[in-house]
Homo-oligomer: A and B are copies of this chain.
């Protein structure tokens, strides 16, 4: 019988930098296609993983809790990606996230993936909206989340 494991309770502390936050991960063999470079959609996978990590570390709103406990969600409504350079397997990407705009029930992010020398691999703009479940109708960004978004955005601005 398969067990289900509850999320470990980790103590969260208010994010204290660096600004912008960078998510690091290796390009796997399976992220790449027979051309020997990253398969186009995997770039959006990396951008979304970056956003997911930021929700955990900076906003203290892991998507699982946002959906399950808070009966909310933050689906993507638009994205734009510029593919600047194509990583090969085993490259390490540092993917950083900045907040471009915080609206009433939506927010806009820019995620930039870079190589070890700081040269960009991609630039991805993501627009997410906030919804309440199960109605799936627009919901204002909760106050504590909004506050952390604005603090983070302002701190990045100073960088």
Interface size class of A (residues with CB under 8 A): 35 or more
Given contacts A36-B34, A75-B2, A137-B1, contact A7 B90 (CB under 8 A): yes
CA distance A26 to B48 in the complex (A): 13
Chain B residues lying within 8 Å of A78, measured Cβ to Cβ, are 80-83
Question: Are B48 and A88 in contact, CB atoms less than 8 angstroms apart?
Answer: no
**Most B C-beta atoms less than 10 A away, residue of A3, A37, A68:** A3
CA distance A4 to B34 in the complex (A): 14
User: Main secondary structure on chain A at its contact with chain B?
Assistant: mixed
Copies in the complex: 4
Write the nearest CB–CB distance from A71 to chain B, whole angstroms.
11
Question: Are A91 and B41 in contact, CB atoms less than 8 angstroms apart?
Answer: no
Question: Are B33 and A41 in contact, CB atoms less than 8 angstroms apart?
Answer: no
Given contacts A2-B131, A80-B79, contact A29 B33 (CB under 8 A): yes
> Known pairs A3-B86, A28-B48. 13 more at Cβ < 8 A?
A2-B131, A3-B85, A32-B33, A33-B33, A34-B64, A35-B63, A36-B64, A39-B48, A40-B44, A56-B90, A64-B89, A78-B81, A79-B83
